Amino acid sequence: MRRKVIRPEEILETAGALVREEGLAACSMRGIASRLGVAVGTLYNYFPSRDLLLQELFKASWARTVEKVRTEAERDGDGRKRILSIARILLEDMWDRKGLGREVLGFRERMGDQGCAFDEIKEAVTAALARVLKDILPPGQAEDAPTLARWTLAVLLDTIIGDRPFGPREEELLLRLVP
C-alpha cells in the first residue's frame, strides 16, 4: 500500500478547520491525522510536536487576517467605517481561533520566543489602523494615529480575551477617540 502524500499546508488547513469546528482541545495530532486519513507518524514528519504545529497554524492564520486588514485599510471610502470593518475582521478572526492565541502565548513562555511573530503581527495591524486613522484625524493631530491605533488593538484584544460584547454601543465609544 502506498503511503498517502500530504503537504504541510494541508495539515495546517485541517488543523485550522478542527479548531474552528470542534475547538482547540479536539485539535490533537491524533485528531488531525484521523481527519486527514493518514498515520499520526506522518504528521510528525512535518511537525516535531503539537506545540510547533499550533505555532505554525497561528502564524498562517494571522497572516490571512493581516492580509484582510491591509486590504480593508487600503480601500477608499469613509475612514470611520473602515476602522469599524477592521475591528470586526479582527474580532471575528480572533474568535475563530478560539484560544489558539492564548495557547501559543503559553508555549512562548515555555519554549522561549521561537518566532511566534507576535510583535510583527501587532505591528502590521497597528500600521494598517494608523493609516486609516491618519485620514480621519484633523491635520494637526495626525501624529496621534500610531497611539490611537495601538489603543484600538488593545481594546479589541481585551474584548476578545475577556469574552466581552462588541456591538454598536462599543463601536460608538471606540470612535470617540477620533475627534
Q: If 0-12 CB within 10 Å is exposed, 13-18 middle and 19+ buried, where does residue 164 land?
A: exposed
Q: Per CB under 8 A, does 30 bind its own copies?
A: no
Q: What are the grid coordinates assigned to 58, written together?
A: 497561528
Q: Per CB under 8 A, does 155 bind its own copies?
A: yes
Q: Per CB under 8 A, does 170 bind its own copies?
A: yes
What is the chain's percent helix, strand, coil content, to nearest 5?
A: 75, 0, 25
Q: Per CB under 8 A, does 106 bind its own copies?
A: yes
Q: How far is the CB of 179 from its own copies (least distance, A)?
A: 7
Region from 5-13, 55-63, 67-75, 167-175 binding its own copies, contact rule CB under 8 A: 167-175
Distance of alpha carbon 118 from alpha carbon 116, whole angstroms: 6
Distance of alpha carbon 141 from alpha carbon 35, whole angstroms: 53
Q: Residues touching its own copies: how many (CB under 8 A)?
A: 22
Of 7, 110, 138, 163, the residue at the interface with its own copies (CB under 8 A) is 110
Region from 5-13, 15-23, 83-91, 162-170 binding its own copies, contact rule CB under 8 A: 162-170
Q: Per CB under 8 A, does 164 bind its own copies?
A: yes
Residue nearer to its own copies on the CB measure, 106 or 115: 106
Q: Per CB under 8 A, does 105 bind its own copies?
A: yes
Distance of alpha carbon 65 from alpha carbon 125, whole angstroms: 9
Give 132's contacts (C-beta < 8 A, 6+ positions apart): 73, 79, 82, 83, 86
Cβ–Cβ < 8 Å for 122, 65: no
Tell me which residues touch its own copies (CB under 8 A).
105-106, 109-110, 144, 147-148, 150-151, 153-155, 157-158, 162, 164, 169-170, 173, 176-177, 179
